[in-house]
Every structure is written in C-alpha cells, then in structure tokens.
C-alpha cells in the first residue's frame, strides 16, 4: 500500500518526539527491551484508501494489548454477546493492566473487562478451535482480513520471550480456572495468548485496522463488511472506557477518540466516520502507554478537533 509522507504530520511528530526521552521501553518481556526508545511513527488511513505517514514507518512491532480488541471481536463473532459477557465484565478497573486484585474482590469472580490481561486471557480461551494452533490461525486470518495484508504473522522471538516469563499471567489463568471462567490447559492458552500478543505489523497496517473500525466494521477500500456493526460498536466502546488502561479517563478528556494501546508502544486509534490512525513509539509512560504517541495524538486532536465529545 502506498503511503505519502506528510510535512504537516512530520512537524507534529517532531514536536512529540522529544517526549521519548522521558519514557522507558518495556523490558518485563525481555525481547521488547531491544526496541529503540527514540523511534516514533504514525500513519493515517482514509476512506478512499489514501494514506499519509511520518516517522520510522518501516519498523515492525508486536501488537501486545492492541490484540485484545481483535480477539474480542473474534470471540463475539464465535459466541455472541450473552456468552462472552457471562465470563467477562464491561466495567473499567482503574487498576494496572496485569493486576490480580479485582479478580479476588469481584462477585461473581470474573475479570472486569476484556482489555485487562485477565479479561483478555478469558476471551482468548473462548475462541473456537479444538487445538491452540486452530485458534491462532483464526486470529491471523482475521488480521489478514482487517489489514488486507496476508503476510502478517507473529514474532517467534517475542512470543517465546513472553511465554518463558509470564508467570503473572499464568497466575491469573489458574485463578480463573478455579472459578470456572476458563477451561482447558493453561499452558496451551498461554501459547495462543503469547503468539496473539506477538502478532507483528507496521503502523500502516495498524492504521488500516483503525479505518475498518472507523467505518463500523466495513473495509473502506473493498466495502466488505469484515466485522458486524454491533460488534465494531462494542469494541470501540471498550476502547473509550478501558483502551488506555488506567489512563483511559485522562485520554478521553485530552484526546477523545477510541484507542487501544500495547506495551510494545503501539496505539490503534479510530476516528469514527473519518479515518484510522496507527502509532508506534516504544518509550512508555508509567501506565504502559507510548509517551510520545499520546503526546502526538494530543497535538493531532487539538489541531484537527478530533474529540468526539
């Protein structure tokens, strides 16, 4: 896909780039620690397939928590709302993404929403497929449909690095297994989840996914309805209420568009009815969001009056 570099976007990107110095690359997944913290890139995908970009757009990154929006859409397609929300709630937590605290105090004991790790693990557990490789194929196929890029796959290095170190996520799984929220083998679930989080793309692909959500699940180029509108609406609502972890409230006030971030530094944004935005900037703030990426979105939102509120 051709994407024009934009002088105007580059000017905003350069103002935001200096914030990378204040952030820190995630290294609790050791392979993510190799990222260059000074990088920042953005792509915007419009309805007519036009695309503008700025920054290091060739860099590929893993989706990490951005993948939670994709797995949620797949689980909703597979099982419908009633079943999915019998296992995972709809409320923001106000806690960090990997917190176990509310799992114990909530009655019934189910994760509060699908954007925190506990909720996302429960959602991935639901995806149809008799073996973990079937679930992964299904997720990847869906990503290919969303991006119109059949070459996207996952990073073996990042997936293995997370699989070997994610004891906290394992503990969430065992807790949920005890309470009947998930079933089956925890190691198999960890295999699918870590590969799902390691799905790798660049910000042009990410912007294209954002555009599909911006047009209520329809690919603006092919006009194919990839996600039913009611599922796209649910995903976008979670992006607003819980997409930026425990910074979602501030993000809604300052920027005001549905967005989902990941600890790789990726941010998927969707400006309803207008366009999709993909951002990558691996230096993170204390809540695990791309520090310069948020700054760039703030500048963009102010300049183009993007807030939906």
Q: Which of the residues are catalytic?
A: 65, 68, 193, 245, 263
Site for ligand GLN in 19-48 (CB under 6 A): none
Answer yes or no whether residue 155 interacts with ligand GLN by CB under 6 A: no
DSSP secondary structure code for residue 218 in this structure: B
Answer yes or no whether residue 281 interacts with ligand GLN by CB under 6 A: no
Secondary element (H or E) of residue 42: strand 41-46
**Could you tell me the smallest distance in angstroms from the CB atom of residue 264 to ligand GLN?**
7
Q: What SS3 state is found at 199?
A: strand
DSSP secondary structure code for residue 150 in this structure: T
Answer yes or no whether residue 263 interacts with ligand GLN by CB under 6 A: yes
| Closer of 53 and 62 to ligand GLN (Cβ) | 62
Answer yes or no whether residue 98 interacts with ligand GLN by CB under 6 A: yes
- 97, 229 contact by CB (below 8 A): no
How far apart (Å, rounded) are the C-alpha atoms in residues 154 and 223? 27
What string marks each residue from 107 to 126 as x (binds ligand GLN by CB under 6 A) or -?
A: ----------x---------
Q: Are strands 4-5 and 51-55 parallel, antiparallel or unpaired?
A: parallel
**Could you tell me the smallest distance in angstroms from the CB atom of residue 245 to ligand GLN?**
7
Answer yes or no whether residue 285 interacts with ligand GLN by CB under 6 A: no
**Could you tell me the smallest distance in angstroms from the CB atom of residue 298 to ligand GLN?**
20
How far apart (Å, rounded) are the C-alpha atoms in residues 172 and 96? 14
Of 70, 126, 190, 197, the one binding ligand GLN by CB under 6 A: 197
Alpha helices in the chain (DSSP H): 7-17, 67-87, 101-105, 117-126, 132-147, 156-165, 167-178, 186-197, 203-214, 229-242, 248-254, 291-304
Of 227, 288, 292, 297, the one binding ligand GLN by CB under 6 A: 288
| Closer of 171 and 216 to ligand GLN (Cβ) | 171
Site for ligand GLN, rule CB under 6 A:
64-65, 97-98, 117, 162, 169, 197, 262-263, 288
């Amino acid at each position: 896909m051709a994407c024009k570099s934009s002088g105007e976007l580059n000017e905003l990107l350069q103002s935001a780039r200096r914030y990378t110095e204040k952030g820190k690359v995630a290294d609790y997944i050791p392979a993510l620690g190799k990222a260059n913290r000074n990088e920042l890139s953005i792509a915007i995908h419009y309805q007519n397939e036009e695309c503008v970009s700025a920054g290091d757009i060739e860099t590929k990154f893993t989706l990490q928590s951005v993948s939670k929006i994709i797995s949620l859409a797949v689980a909703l397609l597979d099982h419908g709302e009633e079943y999915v929300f019998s296992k995972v709630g709809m409320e923001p937590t106000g806690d960090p993404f990997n917190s176990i605290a509310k799992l114990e105090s909530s009655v019934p004991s189910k994760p509060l929403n699908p954007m925190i790790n506990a909720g996302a693990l429960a959602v991935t557990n639901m995806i149809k497929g008799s073996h973990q490789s079937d679930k992964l194929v299904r997720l990847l196929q869906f990503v290919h449909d969303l991006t119109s890029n059949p070459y996207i796959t996952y990073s073996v290095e990042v997936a293995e690095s997370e699989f070997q170190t994610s004891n906290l996520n394992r503990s969430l799984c065992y807790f949920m297994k005890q309470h009947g929220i998930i079933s089956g083998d925890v190691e198999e679930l960890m295999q699918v989840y870590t590969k799902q989080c390691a799905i790798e793309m660049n910000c042009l692909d990410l912007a294209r996914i954002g555009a599909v959500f911006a047009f209520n699940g329809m690919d603006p180029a092919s006009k194919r309805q990839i996600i039913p509108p009611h599922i796209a609406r649910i995903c976008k609502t979670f992006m607003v209420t819980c997409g930026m972890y425990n910074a979602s409230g501030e993000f809604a006030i300052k920027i005001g568009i549905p967005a989902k971030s990941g600890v790789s530094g990726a941010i998927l944004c969707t400006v309803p009815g207008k366009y999709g935005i993909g951002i990558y900037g691996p230096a993170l703030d204390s809540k695990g969001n791309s520090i310069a990426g948020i700054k760039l979105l703030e500048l963009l939102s102010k300049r183009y009056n993007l807030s939906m509120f």
